[in-house]
Amino acid sequence: MHAVLMMILQRLGLGILTLFVVSVVIFGATELLPGDLASSLLGQSATPETVAALRQQMGLDQPAPVRYWTWLTGVVQGDFGVSLATRRPISDMMSMRLGNTVFLALYAAAIAVPLSLVLGILAALWRNSLFDRVANAGALSAISFPEFFVAYILIFLLAQSGVFPSMVRISPAMGLTDKLYVTFLPALTLTLVVTAHMMRMTRAAIINLMASPYIEMARLKGVSPLRIVLRHALPNALAPIINVVALNLAYLITGVVVVEVVFVYPGLGQLMVDSVAKRDIAVVQAIALIFASAYVLLNLTADVLSTLTNPRLMRRK
């Protein structure tokens, strides 16, 4: 138990250090974005004095290290600051949109994770069969297409006929059934994109264990192939499967920007794109840090879970 606790604390410390480095990268990258918010708000007819006064009011005239330290200390305290374009608290702007993004990611994960595990297990069970070849061909095709292409194909096939809406409109008063209906196409797009990775990793991890001595012993005892896969191979293949599932779950949260823009989905990705267009750097920084935190947290969770499922990984070499 002590070793597990120490391992978790080490991973948390590494995660905090990673987030600090990421925050520096995010702030530096947004500093390199072209354009100026003050000039954008005042227009081309603004005088240099007016632009300088607005920059001073917004705190944009301060050196970059000072602004970074102010931003970082505020984030640590849970204060992301105020939007430079709308003067609204950024936390209020992100609250509902974050919930929408998480809902879409969980919706896609609820479809993709069971589907990929079942397809991966069946492909490993029926290795080199017609089903295995068709599943691998479909997975490679889904990986090859970018998200926006898959989204537009689904819109053409399912939205043009009126089966599902091509633009997502969500209201707080909307029921769960209606919400699942209107968000089905973006969730299906994300499902098709991430299922292939998880299915192929599940298949490869199980096939890699099928030549193990204990699997051969189970076969000699007359155990059915399905029972061998589910009872003996799958539990020992959990470490790589958990890793790839966590990576794809992180992608579902952080990689929804393109899908949200295509379907005009009111999530963090859409807000980020709108903020970049407005040169609202504070909002862009906050959303980028939220995405980075989700990615780091899910990766740390996968690292801990995969280590717990395979205690040999805790042994020092």
Kindly list the distances between the CA atom of residue 219 and the CA atoms of 79, 215, 227, in Å, as whole numbers in the listed order.
59, 6, 10
> DSSP label at 230?
I
Query: What CATH number is attached to the domain comprising 135?
Result: 1.10.3720.10
What band does 313 get if pLDDT is binned at 50, 70 and 90?
A: low
Tell me what pLDDT residue 194 has: 86
Average pLDDT over residues 118-133: 87
SS3 82: strand
Q: Which of 8-17, 50-59, 71-80 has the lowest mean pLDDT?
A: 50-59
Average pLDDT over residues 296-315: 74
Tell me what pLDDT residue 315 has: 58
% of residues, the chain, pLDDT over 70: 91
Phi-psi category of residue 310: left, alpha or beta, with phi > 0 → left and psi -120 to 50 → alpha: beta
Asked if residue 288 lies in contact with residue 121, where contact means CB atoms within 8 angstroms, the answer is: no
> Sign of the CA dihedral 33, 38, 44, 46?
negative
> Sign of the CA dihedral 3, 5, 8, 10?
negative
| C-alpha closest to that of 81 among 27, 3, 161 | 27
Q: Indicate the angle between helix axes 184-209 and 238-254, nearest 10 degrees.
A: 160
Asked if residue 292 lies in contact with residue 41, where contact means CB atoms within 8 angstroms, the answer is: no
pLDDT tops 70 at residue 138: yes
The whole domain housing 127 covers 99-269
Tell me what pLDDT residue 50 has: 78
Kindly list the distances between the CA atom of residue 133 and the CA atoms of 80, 115, 228, 310, 315, in Å, as whole numbers in the listed order.
49, 17, 22, 30, 38
Domain membership of residue 130 (yes or no) is yes
Domain membership of residue 314 (yes or no) is no
Residues 6+ apart with CB under 8 A from 138: 196
Domain membership of residue 8 (yes or no) is no
Q: What is the pLDDT of residues 210-225, one digit of tens each?
A: 878 888 788 778 878 7
Q: What is the pLDDT of residues 16-67, one digit of tens each?
A: 898 889 888 888 887 776 666 666 666 666 677 777 777 777 677 777 788 8
Asked if residue 252 lies in contact with residue 109, where contact means CB atoms within 8 angstroms, the answer is: yes
Tell me what pLDDT residue 33 has: 67
Domain membership of residue 241 (yes or no) is yes
Domain membership of residue 309 (yes or no) is no
Tell me what pLDDT residue 1 has: 57
| C-alpha closest to that of 18 among 309, 311, 295 | 295
Tell me what pLDDT residue 37 has: 63
pLDDT tops 60 at residue 316: no
SS3 88: coil
Domain membership of residue 275 (yes or no) is no
**Does the pTM of the predicted model rise above 0.75?**
yes
- Bigger pLDDT: 195 or 85? 195
What band does 140 get if pLDDT is binned at 50, 70 and 90?
A: confident
Residue 72 structure tokens: 């970082």
What band does 250 get if pLDDT is binned at 50, 70 and 90?
A: confident
Rounded distance between C-alpha atoms, residue 16 and residue 10, angstroms: 10
Rounded distance between C-alpha atoms, residue 235 and residue 121, angstroms: 12
Kindly list the distances between the CA atom of residue 9 and the CA atoms of 5, 59, 60, 75, 239, in Å, as whole numbers in the listed order.
6, 37, 38, 22, 20
Domain membership of residue 35 (yes or no) is no
Domain membership of residue 139 (yes or no) is yes
Structural domains of the chain, count: 1
List the Cα angle 177/180/181 in 5-degree steps.
85
Average pLDDT, whole number, for the chain? 82
Average pLDDT over residues 59-78: 81
